[in-house]
Amino acid sequence: MDNYFDVTLTEDELRAISAVGLAHLGDAVYEILVRTWLCAHGKATGKGLHRATIELVRAEAQAIRAEAILPLLTEEELAVFRRGRNANVNTIPRHASRAQYGTATALEALLGWLYLRGEKARVNELFLEMMKVEG
């Protein structure tokens, strides 16, 4: 692979990546979208920018936003979401419940999977819907 900014993996390559691996990448995809959204909307500056990012990327906030997009997901996307939710994670943050963390992990796995498929427009579509949610 020569260009990691524009990645498209085959279905076999995607299946070879664990749900935790997809979530790991999806976490970064979501965070860069949130940071871009905050900067583009002038929502915060300096220390406030970091705090605003944390508020949006923490598991509880991700879980709320994930629930909002569930009705929009295709069957294939729902299967990836369930795979992420069922991932075997060992550490759960103190401020999140196991259910919230599982849902956040599922969202991250979905975003990682879509990103690696080259479906950036779909990632953006879902992100825009998530950002309509308060909380």
Residues annotated as catalytic are 27
- Determine how many CB atoms are found less than 10 A away from the CB of residue 87: 17
Please name the amino acid found at residue 37: W
Burial 59-77 (b: 16+ CB within 10 A, else e): bbbbbbbbebbeeebeeeb
Which residue carries 């479906």 as its tokens? 119
